Structure 1
């Protein structure tokens, strides 16, 4: 793991914890320990793009979500949901949200944030979310996929969770200089295109308001529309 790992997608680990995983609250790397995210939960929202406490940052993410997600009301599955900041924005826009994260403390915070909204939160693995036969109009995932062992298989599984005409919204990037980590937009597009009816990539690197500061690494969103009959 690079010593130049990004501060925004990944909060820095405390002493004694294993290598930091990446993701929006999702402990995905094989070397990760669930205890990492349990401890990280207390300070997770301190990152501008995690807690969305700054009104400008919050507004910027709300505008992006409004353009990425289907018209409300839609069923949205937020995988690696962390403390539920993006889920809250989606719920405020009129969507029915289900959030999944492996950290019980993250989930507890998310439930508190979305109390009174049409939302449910489950402790579980983002790669294989415990949603049974439920299907969704959109699957939203931020900073999780790149760290999973088999992204291609995970994408097929996520596509199978979509209702006919659903869409996949992936916020990913490539961070660090000496030893870059992440997944480039071109690589992710190549994985998604065989499954999707159409894909669209938005560059997020040149919108510093999203991150609460200027960034120089690759950050993007891939939005994919899926027809009925997704191969799994």
Structure 2
């Protein structure tokens, strides 16, 4: 079981995973529910704050968050909450970036936030144009960690 959000939750459900999706916007939840229905997959969508999702502590194999951490008022608190949602063998997956506009987190900043709670955090650059539909000049990456 994983805790994620939106279109990504639908993609994971299509791949056969049991998924919970969280969003603060009721409209975004309605759109995500419509996408899940159109794909004929089940996702348990919940209304709540991504920084403190309404999910059971210690119940998830994966917490996957995409392009959200950088915009949170307290990224460190969010990472602490997310790591607490995971089972002992769980994985935290953060897809983030430092955009050409200057917004976002560097890979080193994101990794440091995770290492404050867990002993490992691996960074992989996501710079393949096939991932984005074009060449990019941002710093896009994934941080994968486990307890």
What's the TM-score once normalised by structure 1's chain length?
A: 0.59
Post-superposition Cα deviations, 1:24-47, rounded to whole Å, max 9, x if no partner, equal xxxxxxxxxxxxxxxxxxxxxxxx
Alignment gaps of 5+ in structure 1: 1-74, 227-232
- Measure how far apart 1:118 and its partner are: 3.3
Supply the distance in 2 between the matched residues of 1:202 and 1:163 (Cα, whole angstroms): 23
2:9 to 82, 87, 99: 87
- Aligned: 1:192 with 2:118: no
Alignment of 1:109-148 (within 5 A): 109-115=31-37, 116-133=40-57, 135-148=59-72
- Measure how far apart 1:151 and its partner are: 1.1
Which residue is equivalent to 2:18?
A: 96
- Measure how far apart 1:90 and its partner are: 0.9
Which residue is equivalent to 2:103?
A: 181
Supply the distance in 2 between the matched residues of 1:203 and 1:132 (Cα, whole angstroms): 31
What's the TM-score once normalised by structure 2's chain length?
A: 0.91
- Greater strand percent: which structure? 2
8 Å CA contact 2:58–2:84 kept in 1: the answer is: no
Alignment gaps of 5+ in structure 2: none
**Greater than 3 Å deviation, 4+ residue runs:** none
Supply the distance in 1 between the matched residues of 2:58 and 2:107 (Cα, whole angstroms): 29
Taking only aligned residues, the RMSD between alpha carbons, in angstroms, comes to 1.5
2:96 to 152, 162, 172: 172
Which residue is equivalent to 1:159?
A: 83
- Aligned: 1:211 with 2:132: yes
How many residues of Structure 1 are paired with residues of Structure 2 in the alignment?
Answer: 145
- Measure how far apart 1:154 and its partner are: 1.2
- Measure how far apart 1:169 and its partner are: 0.5
Per mean C-alpha deviation after superposition, the further-off stretch among 193-202 and 95-104 is: 193-202
